[in-house]
């Protein structure tokens, strides 16, 4: 086997599979209920696991008494931190124990675990665990947590393993998980050169993923070898393997992770969920343990999006050019860092937006508070900063008397220009996205004619979006079967977004096979080639690339055989649909993949197989352009662009906002499966609509007040219009498979600002805090009316 570290030329698709809305490979098993998710599995002798959550937001653990729980009939294992190795995990800053150790840092934090013969017994046993606490003062606001004298969550923070670059400011603030500073140009002296300036404070909520399938893990331990097998609902089998090894002090060679069907993730199933603790229970009980969280436990114990407060000032000149920006971003990362330092890095990296702004000063914090830990969530720090930025861009356009789309186009980065930090934009298509959005939405007419229903006001708003697609490492193996069909192995997890199908289409198109001729195998750390994670809008882009590269090598091997079999030079050969190598211009001269494979297996050359690997090349910060401090670099990715337009009606009586219609224009590079891409865009838009209008975890004194789907509301079928129009532009990239780029996260990023800009267009009121609930919008309307009547 060989690999090619450099990308080959983008292959030409063979046959008609690429760009077709073929049904998903697993659609049939999903509509019949036969698809197997983790909780659908059972093993002989299987026990049920459950977690006990902390009743306090911040408290010292004085003592445990688990004797009554251990003595209950049917209870097989009871664990607290005292029973576990003192190891902490985290993607950047390793601060999180499997169960609270020494202190509890948020209400609901897992503090004990039980395995029992059934779930009822396990839950009753949790009630019999007696833990003595000393309640400590807590801090729930990240700005307060930064003040001197605030309660400190992680007294031992500086002893944790940490992969961030140094920041003296972080060192001075004991509750800071991250502190980042990025400066370009001369931001201090530039403000008097600005003709218009807008400045405000923006607040965004802790949104929760509400993947439909709650977190679930089934762990079994081989009694002889000690090897642990985990079936789990995750976005990365390889990260679970590494984290479980790290948490339990077991070599990765003794851990196998398999992802059955996964019922959504959206970032919430990256890094650790409940896998290591379930493995620990199975080891302690000597039997398989399945732990599926109840929805309420999932909401109290797992993760959310980072709540964020952003103080931003942006200035522009009379000729419509954005000149300067100063921004202070404070992400609330909750009790543990998880992906918070990465989120802060990515958020800072997007703080200039998809625009050329010569002078910027960015300060960004991720701060510990006694709330649920915040982590990855579709958009990864970018929806927060886009909310502030795209509202300000609209206000600047208004002050300058310019159309919001024209103003954005004037400032949009183009191909060859540099992103914040100096990375080149290879495919600067924002202008095209904005122009297409203007045409598709009939922007000019709708912007000027605003006939609304009685008692309602209508408006239309836009947001420009810049995001990245890519990140980190992937690999794939492609192997020709004896009959000429193909087996494709990757470690990528399809969490519902459709990557299995898209990747199978990539392989089929690369070699001219039908989908029936592709065996696409699921992720299993024992046999799959490495893939970092389903996240960062990267799977189709990155894994698709390594698959097509491996297919290219398989093609070369096929051609070498065919050249000898057909007595023609390789240069005269071509792939034909159906698994055939033929001679160009000679329709009758051909040989099937099956015949070639048989020759390779039994006569000459050996099995036809190839693998490929890729690490998305990190672009270091160009220090001539940018002064940078405190970044947790995970590389960046390939820049991708979109434009999102929302038309809304605002109810004058209640302030409630209704989305009437939306257009979401995305440069996807090259469409692999239109239905899948469009479905991602529509779904991301609606998740963004929830973020914009209704979704928010609410705490009272550190206690989560809405840990259920009846109190935390995501949009339902009646809350969204059917008219959410996905529009795919195709400007092929030089990097992705057949030119494809990623789309999944991008579709959420601009929704909240597009909706809030539409609210402003409808009412004149600026909403700087989302979700834009009826209450907040009504108050904004009334205070505007009041100001108007005084003025």
Give residues 282-321 in contact with other proteins (rule: CB under 8 A): 292, 294-296
Candidates 67, 132, 708, 783; binder of other proteins (CB under 8 A) is 708
Closest alpha carbon to 297 in 90, 111, 118: 111
The residue range among 22-30, 108-116, 537-545, 628-636 that interacts with other proteins, by the rule CB under 8 A, is 22-30
Region 493-512 residues binding other proteins, contact defined as CB under 8 A: 495-498
37/368 with CB nearer other proteins:
37
Say if residues 301 and 109 touch (Cβ distance below 8 Å): yes
Q: Please, which residues bridge with residue 366 across strands?
A: 178, 331
The residue range among 150-158, 248-256, 492-500, 544-552 that interacts with other proteins, by the rule CB under 8 A, is 492-500
428/690 with CB nearer other proteins:
690
Token couple for 89: 């995990």
Candidates 1, 12, 27, 159; binder of other proteins (CB under 8 A) is 27
State the Cα–Cα distance between residues 760 and 752, nearest whole angstrom: 12
Region 759-788 residues binding other proteins, contact defined as CB under 8 A: 773-775, 778
Taking each continuous run of H as one helix and of E as one strand, the counts in the chain are 20, 29
The SS3 of residue 453 is coil
Report H helices in 249-336: 275-285, 295-301
Region 723-742 residues binding other proteins, contact defined as CB under 8 A: 723-724
Say if residues 133 and 600 touch (Cβ distance below 8 Å): no
The residue range among 82-90, 331-339, 513-521, 673-681 that interacts with other proteins, by the rule CB under 8 A, is 673-681
DSSP-derived letter for residue 253 is G
Candidates 10, 14, 18, 39; binder of other proteins (CB under 8 A) is 39
Token couple for 402: 């310019």
Site string for other proteins, 229-258 (x = CB under 8 A): ------------------------------
Q: Considering the complex, what minimum distance in angstroms separates the CB of residue 120 from other proteins?
A: 8
**Interface with other proteins, residue 71, by CB under 8 A:** no
E-strand stretches of 470-512 = 473-480, 486-490
The residue range among 563-571, 716-724, 731-739, 759-767 that interacts with other proteins, by the rule CB under 8 A, is 716-724
**Interface with other proteins, residue 683, by CB under 8 A:** yes
Region 144-163 residues binding other proteins, contact defined as CB under 8 A: none
DSSP-derived letter for residue 310 is E
State the Cα–Cα distance between residues 390 and 200, nearest whole angstrom: 12
DSSP-derived letter for residue 477 is E
23/249 with CB nearer other proteins:
23
Q: Considering the complex, what minimum distance in angstroms separates the CB of residue 654 from other proteins?
A: 6
The residue range among 20-28, 246-254, 397-405, 473-481 that interacts with other proteins, by the rule CB under 8 A, is 20-28
31/71 with CB nearer other proteins:
31
Q: Considering the complex, what minimum distance in angstroms separates the CB of residue 542 from other proteins?
A: 20
Candidates 7, 19, 185, 264; binder of other proteins (CB under 8 A) is 264
Closest alpha carbon to 235 in 208, 207, 206, 261: 261
State the Cα–Cα distance between residues 755 and 462, nearest whole angstrom: 8
267/630 with CB nearer other proteins:
267
Strand order through the sheet with 580-583: 573-576, 580-583, 586-592
DSSP-derived letter for residue 570 is G
Region 627-656 residues binding other proteins, contact defined as CB under 8 A: 653-654, 656
Q: How many Cβ atoms are within 10 Å of 443's Cβ, its own excluded?
A: 21
The residue range among 25-33, 239-247, 333-341, 417-425 that interacts with other proteins, by the rule CB under 8 A, is 25-33
Size of the site for other proteins (CB under 8 A): 75
State the Cα–Cα distance between residues 341 and 320, nearest whole angstrom: 35
Region 191-230 residues binding other proteins, contact defined as CB under 8 A: 209-214
Q: Considering the complex, what minimum distance in angstroms separates the CB of residue 340 from other proteins?
A: 23
Q: Considering the complex, what minimum distance in angstroms separates the CB of residue 659 from other proteins?
A: 11
Token couple for 511: 């070699």
The residue range among 56-64, 191-199, 503-511, 705-713 that interacts with other proteins, by the rule CB under 8 A, is 705-713
Token couple for 129: 């665990």
State the Cα–Cα distance between residues 675 and 677, nearest whole angstrom: 6
The SS3 of residue 468 is strand
Site string for other proteins, 87-126 (x = CB under 8 A): ------------------------------------x---
Say if residues 17 and 514 touch (Cβ distance below 8 Å): yes
β-bridge pairing 518-521 and 75-79: unpaired
62/722 with CB nearer other proteins:
722
584/654 with CB nearer other proteins:
654
Candidates 273, 411, 469, 682; binder of other proteins (CB under 8 A) is 682
3-state helix, strand, coil in the chain (%, to 5): 30, 25, 40
The residue range among 83-91, 280-288, 570-578, 670-678 that interacts with other proteins, by the rule CB under 8 A, is 670-678
Burial of residue 718, with CB atoms counted within 10 A of its CB: 0-12 exposed, 13-18 middle, 19 or more buried: exposed
Contacts (Cβ under 8 Å, ≥6 apart) of 729 = 429, 432, 433, 436, 665, 666, 667, 668
Q: Considering the complex, what minimum distance in angstroms separates the CB of residue 183 from other proteins?
A: 39
**Interface with other proteins, residue 720, by CB under 8 A:** yes
State the Cα–Cα distance between residues 501 and 20, nearest whole angstrom: 11
**Interface with other proteins, residue 719, by CB under 8 A:** yes
State the Cα–Cα distance between residues 197 and 325, nearest whole angstrom: 9
Region 431-460 residues binding other proteins, contact defined as CB under 8 A: 455
34/604 with CB nearer other proteins:
34
Strand order through the sheet with 638-651: 456-469, 638-651, 657-667, 724-729
Candidates 82, 698, 701, 786; binder of other proteins (CB under 8 A) is 698
């Amino acid at each position: 086997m060989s690999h090619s570290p450099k990308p080959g030329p983008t292959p030409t698709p063979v046959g008609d599979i690429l760009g077709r809305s073929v049904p998903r490979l697993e659609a049939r098993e999903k509509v019949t209920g036969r698809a197997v998710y983790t909780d659908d599995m059972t093993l002989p002798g299987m026990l049920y696991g459950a977690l006990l959550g902390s009743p306090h937001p911040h408290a010292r653990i004085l003592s445990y008494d688990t004797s009554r729980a251990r003595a209950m009939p049917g209870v097989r294992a009871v664990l607290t931190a005292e029973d576990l190795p003192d190891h902490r995990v985290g993607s950047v800053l390793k601060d999180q124990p499997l169960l609270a150790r020494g202190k509890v840092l948020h209400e609901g934090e897992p503090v004990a675990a039980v395995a029992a013969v059934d779930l009822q017994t396990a839950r009753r046993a949790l009630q019999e665990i007696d833990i003595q606490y000393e309640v400590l003062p807590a801090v729930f606001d990240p700005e307060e947590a930064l003040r001197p004298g605030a309660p400190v969550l992680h007294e031992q923070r500086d002893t944790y393993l940490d992969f961030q670059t140094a920041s003296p400011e972080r060192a001075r603030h004991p509750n800071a998980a991250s502190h980042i500073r990025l400066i370009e140009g001369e931001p201090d002296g530039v403000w008097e050169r600005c003709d218009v300036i807008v400045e405000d404070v923006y607040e965004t909520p802790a949104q929760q993923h509400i993947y439909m399938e709650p977190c679930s893990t089934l762990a079994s331990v081989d009694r002889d070898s000690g090897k642990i097998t985990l079936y789990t609902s995750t976005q990365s089998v390889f990260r679970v393997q590494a984290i479980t090894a790290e948490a339990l002090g077991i070599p990765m060679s003794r851990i196998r992770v398999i992802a059955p069907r996964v019922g959504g993730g959206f970032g919430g199933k990256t890094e650790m969920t409940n896998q290591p603790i379930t493995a620990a229970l199975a080891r302690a009980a000597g039997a398989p343990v399945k732990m599926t969280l109840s929805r309420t436990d999932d909401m109290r114990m797992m993760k959310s999006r980072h709540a964020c407060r952003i103080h931003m000032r942006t200035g522009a000149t009379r000729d419509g050019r954005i000149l300067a920006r100063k921004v202070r971003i404070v992400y609330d990362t909750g009790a543990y860092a998880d992906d918070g330092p990465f989120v802060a890095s990515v958020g800072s990296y997007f703080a200039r937006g998809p625009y050329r702004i010569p002078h910027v000063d960015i300060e960004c914090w991720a701060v510990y508070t006694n709330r649920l830990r915040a982590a990855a969530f579709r958009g990864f720090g970018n929806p927060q900063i886009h909310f502030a930025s795209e509202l300000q861009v609209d206000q600047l356009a208004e002050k300058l008397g310019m159309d919001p789309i024209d103003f954005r186009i004037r400032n949009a980065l183009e191909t060859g220009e540099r992103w914040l930090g100096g990375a080149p934009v290879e495919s600067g298509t924002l202008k095209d996205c904005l122009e297409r959005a203007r045409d598709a939405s009939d922007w000019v007419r709708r912007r000027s004619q605003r006939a609304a229903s009685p008692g309602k006001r209508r408006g239309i708003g836009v947001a420009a979006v810049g995001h990245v697609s890519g990140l980190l490492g992937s690999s794939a193996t492609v192997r020709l079967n004896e009959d000429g069909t193909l087996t494709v192995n990757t470690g990528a997890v399809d969490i519902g977004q459709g990557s299995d199908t898209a990747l199978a289409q990539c392989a089929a198109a690369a070699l001219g096979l039908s989908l029936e001729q592709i065996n696409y195998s699921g992720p299993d750390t024992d046999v799959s080639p490495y893939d970092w994670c389903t996240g960062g809008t990267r799977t189709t882009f990155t894994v698709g690339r390594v698959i097509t590269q491996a297919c290219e090598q398989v093609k070369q091997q096929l051609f070498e055989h065919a050249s000898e079999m057909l007595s023609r030079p390789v240069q005269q050969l071509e792939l034909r649909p159906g698994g055939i190598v033929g001679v160009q211009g000679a329709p009758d001269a051909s040989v099937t993949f099956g015949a070639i494979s048989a020759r390779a297996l039994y006569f000459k050359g050996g099995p036809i197989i190839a693998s490929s690997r890729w690490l998305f090349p990190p672009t270091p910060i160009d220090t001539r352009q940018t002064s940078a401090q405190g970044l947790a670099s995970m590389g960046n990715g390939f820049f991708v662009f979109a434009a999102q337009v929302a038309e809304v009606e605002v109810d004058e009586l209640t302030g409630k906002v209704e989305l009437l219609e939306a257009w979401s224009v995305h440069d996807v590079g090259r469409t692999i499966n239109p239905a899948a891409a469009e479905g991602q865009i529509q779904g991301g838009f609606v998740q963004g609509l929830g973020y914009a209008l209704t979704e928010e975890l609410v705490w009272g004194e550190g206690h989560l007040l809405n840990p259920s789907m009846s109190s935390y509301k995501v949009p339902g079928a009646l809350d969204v219009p059917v008219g959410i129009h996905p529009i795919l532009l195709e400007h092929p990239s030089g990097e992705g498979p057949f030119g494809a780029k990623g789309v999944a996260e991008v579709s959420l990023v601009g929704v909240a600002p597009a909706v809030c800009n539409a609210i402003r267009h409808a009412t004149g009121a600026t909403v700087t805090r989302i979700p834009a609930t009826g209450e907040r919008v009504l108050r904004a309307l009334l205070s505007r009316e009041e100001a108007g009547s005084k003025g």
